[in-house]
Structure 1
Amino acid sequence: MTHSQIRPESPTPDTRLMARVSQVIVSWAEKWFPDAYVFVVVACLAVALGAAFHSGDPMAVSKAFGDGFWSIIPFTMQMVMVAITGYVLAMSRPVAALLRRIARVPSTSRGAIVFIGVLSILLSLVNWGLSLIFCGLLVREMARRTDLSLDYRAAGAAAYLGMGCGFTLGMSSSAAQLQATVSSIPSSLLPITGVIGFDQTILTWQNLVVIVLVTVLSALICYWTAPGRDATRTAADLGVDLDDDQPPVLTRQRKGDYFEYSPILTIVVVLLGAGWLYNAFRSGNPLITMSQLNTYNFVFLMLGLLLHWRPRSFLDSFVRAMPSVGGVLLQFPFYGGIGYMLTKVANAQGVTLSDQIAHWFVNVANDSGVFSVLVSVYSALLGFFIPSAGGKWVIEAPYIMTAANQLEAHLGWTVMVYNISETLPNFINPFWMLPLLGILKLRSKDLVGYTSLQFFIHTPIVILAAALLMPTFTYLPPVIPGR
């Protein structure tokens, strides 16, 4: 089918209205939305001013910023490896072939955008890194189709949906994982929350309801906001080269290259890694083991080695993946500084800015329904400044869960209320877009016009759903092992 033979799509009036609204936001974002680096620096300055006003000690704020700047370097490296190992794996010939096969499934550009969005959410329930990288590369593969005329921006935004409304509802939930593992719960938090199993959080029927709700809602928004043919901008229109990541044809040039083109070293390393993985998975719940970032990255690294088979192919793909992580390396340290300014700078009474914000919300709540809404709003607001679900939960949990006990709100669903709302800022905050933007070779302004509309529609609906589901639970006191 040639480009001129593409079957026209006839959107309904409602669809055209939503598409026009989305294009207004897209147009605004293209003109005014700053680069992700500007966003993080502005957020950093806002928190610094707030902390200085709260504490009255600008020098303490400056010290906290410097102390925190390198505090999440291990986490930064983990995020870099998530992007690189996913990219390397997807650049292997077997996975590239699978991507090409999947990319042929949708028959229309609108259907392709919906397909990518739903797949992004479903994959994120297993692992957010898999969702982000696989769907980003799937967008590139679909964009190569000459019979689709795919809007590259809308498709890229759809690939990001798992980070905006999916990953904390499944196995990728750092908060649920932490609360289910007694050895991971901070000693100061354990008496407040006890151990909360998955059967009280991600495996409840209420959570399934939310998963279905956000998936259907996201798919409808993708469908309604997909631009018409006149407004469509393909990868070529945006100046994106789709052929710069194709696996090169490998040929050995000299005798010294023997081991680079032989699978011998790959076999040795993979066997060595397989022994470690066997022990790691044998000693605990496989789902929890796989959800650990180091284990996840190790698995993907070993799979990448195995599927590339020859070291030269693996090394070439690793180098090609490097541009996708530049933004992560630059911006993550700023978030470390923001986290310290929020949590380490106290006033004369020993209260930090994070404490002050949390206590304000807790004091306003008078029943579990209102409490659910306040937790949602607070988690979403703080998520703009600390977009790390696990790290932010450790900050919020002592105050939120103390209030939950006092109000006799279900502890497991309180964790899920946090999870449901915590990801909403990701639709606007470009923090987690960085690996995807590197793969797509776009800037945050190209996607945020579409993702911000997802934010505005999702926010009131999911917060209300979380509050309405709270009364379906019965309060259970904290379960503390050994007591």
Structure 2
Amino acid sequence: MFQALTNASVRMVQRYLPDAFLFAVILTFLVFVAGIVVNGKTPMEMVNYWGGGFWSLLSFTMQMVLILITGHTLASTNICKRGLNALGSLAKTPGQAIVLVTVVSCVANWINWGFGLVISALLARVLANQVEKVDYRLLVASAYGGFVVWHGGLAGSVPLTIATEKHSLENITGVIPTSETMFSPMNLTIVAAIMSVLPIVNRLMMPAEKDTIVFKGEGIAQQEMAAADSTIDNTPASKMENSRLISVLVSALGIIYLIYYFADKGFKLNLDVVIMGFLFLGILLHGTPRKFLDAMNEAVKTTTGIVVQFPFYAGIIGMMTASGLAASISQWFISISTPTTFPLFTFWSAGLLNIFIPSGGGQWAVQGPIMLPVATELGVSHAKVAMAIAWGDAWTNLIQPFWALPVLALAGLGARDIMGYCLMMLIVTGGIISLGFLLF
């Protein structure tokens, strides 16, 4: 029965889900109309909200472009290819490949989502090349599926924010230590349950051999993504471009800074730190500036979807927040809540809003000031409600192409290729998380 449901989900998505760019456009018009109908805004007001938010994610867009480019470039070095190949060699059968990439994705995304997205996608490509008859769509979907645990992990923006002094809602919640959020028994149980169940679920979704779609291209082990050796002539310019000394010196600056950063702040990862690590390790391991730049030129071709689509999501966020539509959705869930169900309904409402506001920080700015005062009135733990918002933000990323774009770009697939499998993961993980908020 589970296999039949999976096949039905895959067929439905293949038939009805448009390209990721069109998905963003459809959401734009849906929010535009909802703001007029639900909140009584005029069309011109909605246009202004959209235009006012359109460029609000430029900094984040650049971060996502850089993490994709630098991760791709680092993976194209010989040492990283050998490491990924060694890890991939642990899987001998299609089932083992699916389980391995799911486990690696879950663990890596729990440590840091930017690192996890890139590493799991690259491992999926390696496994597709090394393991015969493994379905490439499910392999990539499994690589992306581990992303669901990120907001319950070490880089979760909501628990880290409320653990910081002088955060925006400190007057309501005070400073909440991570021992009550990401390291609470409830959160650790949810993470452990997902990490245990998701590999099994993905293994059960394997299609019949006649329906399997295998990787058509060359894998990372065979691709010469790293630049070929450049011809070195006697000109000073060519000698500098092919100088190993220059690569060593410039990478040393970045690596020394990172060592100082970790010594000073502990193992505190964020996007900027991950990007810097990828960048300077890539420079060092490629050996020469010429090889590094050639690899970067190849990697930049994968960023088109991010550059084009992220501004549209920024416009959607602008309309959702400025029109009051996000607040209206939250208020409706509040109206049907009791002290027992409030964390659960907060989780569900956050999951719904995340489809339109696929940003942890943006969603917290919208829902936090609404949900936490209600939690005070109902006598519900602020930490639990904060984690409900965090998990809702992470949960529906499984069916939101916004976050899948880096993985899809590295894999060379489209959103409809993996979203049927991701829909099944959404149902299973949603049940696990919901039970967590009811039982604790």
Say yes or no: TM over 0.5: yes
The one-letter code matched in structure 1 to 2:92 is: S
Q: Using the alignment, how far apart are the partners of 1:337 and 1:391 within structure 2? A: 12
Report the equivalent of 2:317.
Answer: 339
* TM-score, length-scaled by structure 2: 0.94
How far the C-alpha of 1:162 sits from its partner, in A, is 2.0
How far the C-alpha of 1:278 sits from its partner, in A, is 4.5
SS of equivalent to 1:335: helix
SS of equivalent to 1:384: helix
Correspondence 1:436 to 2:381: no
Judge conservation of contact 2:35–2:319 (CA < 8 Å) in 1: yes
Report the equivalent of 2:225.
Answer: 246
Encode CA deviations 1:103-131: one digit per residue, 9 max, x unaligned.
11111101111110111001101111211
SS of equivalent to 1:302: helix
Correspondence 1:230 to 2:198: no
Matches within 5 A, 1:135-284: 135-145=120-130, 148-163=132-147, 165-183=148-166, 185-186=167-168, 189-236=169-216, 240-242=217-219, 244=223, 246-255=225-234, 256-284=237-265
Q: Using the alignment, how far apart are the partners of 1:427 and 1:55 within structure 2? A: 31
Matches within 5 A, 1:57-456: 57-145=42-130, 148-163=132-147, 165-183=148-166, 185-186=167-168, 189-236=169-216, 240-242=217-219, 244=223, 246-255=225-234, 256-284=237-265, 286-288=266-268, 290=269, 292-345=270-323, 352-367=324-339, 369-456=340-427
Q: Using the alignment, how far apart are the partners of 1:370 and 1:20 within structure 2? A: 32
How far the C-alpha of 1:310 sits from its partner, in A, is 1.5
How far the C-alpha of 1:272 sits from its partner, in A, is 2.4
Q: Using the alignment, how far apart are the partners of 2:255 and 2:96 within structure 1? A: 40
The one-letter code matched in structure 2 to 1:82 is: I
Q: Using the alignment, how far apart are the partners of 2:60 and 2:337 within structure 1? A: 34
Q: Using the alignment, how far apart are the partners of 1:137 and 1:408 within structure 2? A: 46
SS of equivalent to 2:356: coil
The one-letter code matched in structure 2 to 1:214 is: I
Q: Using the alignment, how far apart are the partners of 1:103 and 1:419 within structure 2? A: 32
Q: Using the alignment, how far apart are the partners of 1:34 and 1:123 within structure 2? A: 29
Judge conservation of contact 1:156–1:440 (CA < 8 Å) in 2: yes
Q: Using the alignment, how far apart are the partners of 1:87 and 1:151 within structure 2? A: 22
How far the C-alpha of 1:462 sits from its partner, in A, is 1.6
Judge conservation of contact 1:90–1:96 (CA < 8 Å) in 2: yes
Q: Which runs of 5+ in 1 are unaligned?
A: 1-16, 346-351, 470-483
Report the equivalent of 1:34.
Answer: 18
Judge conservation of contact 1:83–1:435 (CA < 8 Å) in 2: yes
The one-letter code matched in structure 1 to 2:388 is: V
The one-letter code matched in structure 2 to 1:441 is: G
How far the C-alpha of 1:28 sits from its partner, in A, is 2.6
Judge conservation of contact 1:168–1:174 (CA < 8 Å) in 2: yes
Q: Using the alignment, how far apart are the partners of 1:378 and 1:21 within structure 2? A: 25
Report the equivalent of 1:14.
Answer: none
Report the equivalent of 1:51.
Answer: 35
The one-letter code matched in structure 1 to 2:118 is: I
Q: 1:170 to 1:299 in 2, by over 3 A?
A: same
How far the C-alpha of 1:29 sits from its partner, in A, is 2.1
Judge conservation of contact 2:343–2:384 (CA < 8 Å) in 1: no
Q: Using the alignment, how far apart are the partners of 1:245 and 1:388 within structure 2? A: 35
The one-letter code matched in structure 2 to 1:314 is: F
Judge conservation of contact 1:421–1:462 (CA < 8 Å) in 2: no
Q: Using the alignment, how far apart are the partners of 2:367 and 2:40 within structure 1? A: 20
Q: 1:281 to 1:222 in 2, by over 3 A?
A: same
How far the C-alpha of 1:421 sits from its partner, in A, is 2.5
SS of equivalent to 1:166: helix
How far the C-alpha of 1:452 sits from its partner, in A, is 0.8
Correspondence 1:465 to 2:436: yes
Judge conservation of contact 2:63–2:271 (CA < 8 Å) in 1: yes
Encode CA deviations 1:183-213: one digit per residue, 9 max, x unaligned.
5x22xx2201221111111112222111111
How far the C-alpha of 1:283 sits from its partner, in A, is 4.0
Judge conservation of contact 2:129–2:218 (CA < 8 Å) in 1: no
How far the C-alpha of 1:468 sits from its partner, in A, is 1.5
How far the C-alpha of 1:282 sits from its partner, in A, is 4.3
Q: Using the alignment, how far apart are the partners of 2:227 and 2:18 within structure 1? A: 35
More helix by share: 2
Encode CA deviations 1:25-58: one digit per residue, 9 max, x unaligned.
2223223221101111111111111112213322
How far the C-alpha of 1:276 sits from its partner, in A, is 3.5
Q: Using the alignment, how far apart are the partners of 2:224 and 2:202 within structure 1? A: 27
* Matched residues, number: 435
Q: 1:148 to 1:448 in 2, by over 3 A?
A: same
More displaced stretch, 454-463 vs 209-218: 454-463
How far the C-alpha of 1:241 sits from its partner, in A, is 4.9
Percent identity between matched residues is: 29
Q: 1:439 to 1:245 in 2, by over 3 A?
A: farther
How far the C-alpha of 1:314 sits from its partner, in A, is 1.3
Q: Using the alignment, how far apart are the partners of 1:32 and 1:356 within structure 2? A: 29
Encode CA deviations 1:366-424: one digit per residue, 9 max, x unaligned.
21x21011101100000110111122112110111111111121122222222222222
Q: Using the alignment, how far apart are the partners of 1:55 and 1:281 within structure 2? A: 50
Report the equivalent of 1:3.
Answer: none
- Taking only aligned residues, the RMSD between alpha carbons, in angstroms, comes to 1.7
Q: Which runs of 5+ in 2 are unaligned?
A: none
